[in-house]
Amino acid sequence: MSLDQNKIPQATAKRLPLYYRFLNNLQMQGKTRVSSKELSEAVKVDSATIRRDFSYFGALGKKGYGYNVEYLLGFFRKTLDQDELTEVALIGVGNLGTAFLNYNFTKNNNTKIMLAFDADPEKVGKEIGGVPIYHIDDMEEKLGNVKVAILTIPAQEADRITERLVVKGIKGILNFTPARITVPDDVRVHHIDLAIELQALVYFLKHYPLEKIDNEEENTY
Q: Is residue 4 a contact residue for its own copies (CB under 8 A)?
A: no
Residue 172 forms beta bridges with which residues? 148, 188
Q: At how many degrees (to 10) do helices 10-28 and 47-56 cross?
A: 100
Please indicate if the annotation marks 104 as binding a ligand. no
Judged by beta carbon, residue 63 or residue 212, the one nearer its own copies is 212
Cβ atoms 186, 167 nearer than 8 A: no
Query: Among the candidate windows 61-69, 104-112, 119-127, 135-143, which touches its own copies by CB under 8 A?
Result: 104-112
Query: Among the candidate windows 55-63, 118-126, 134-142, 183-191, which touches its own copies by CB under 8 A?
Result: 183-191
The H-or-E segment that residue 87 falls in is strand 86-91
Q: Is residue 102 a contact residue for its own copies (CB under 8 A)?
A: yes
Residue type at 221? Y
Nearest CA to 150 out of 106, 194, 113, 109 is that of 113
Q: Is residue 110 a contact residue for its own copies (CB under 8 A)?
A: yes
Q: Within 13 Å, how many C-alpha atoms sit on residue 4's CB side?
A: 3
Please indicate if the annotation marks 58 as binding a ligand. no
Judged by beta carbon, residue 44 or residue 62, the one nearer its own copies is 44
**Residues 160-179 within binding reach of its own copies (CB under 8 A):** 171-172, 174-175, 178
Q: In this structure, how many other beta carbons lie within 10 angstroms of the beta carbon of residue 153?
A: 26
| DSSP secondary structure letter of residue 84 | S
Which residue of 103, 126, 127, 137 would you call a contact of its own copies, by CB under 8 A?
A: 103
Residues 211 and 165: their CA atoms lie apart, in Å, by 47
Which residue of 70, 81, 120, 127 would you call a contact of its own copies, by CB under 8 A?
A: 81
Q: Is residue 63 a contact residue for its own copies (CB under 8 A)?
A: no
Which residue of 4, 7, 10, 156 would you call a contact of its own copies, by CB under 8 A?
A: 10
Please indicate if the annotation marks 198 as binding a ligand. no
Please indicate if the annotation marks 97 as binding a ligand. yes
Cβ atoms 114, 89 nearer than 8 A: yes
Report the binding-site residues for NAD(+): 92-97
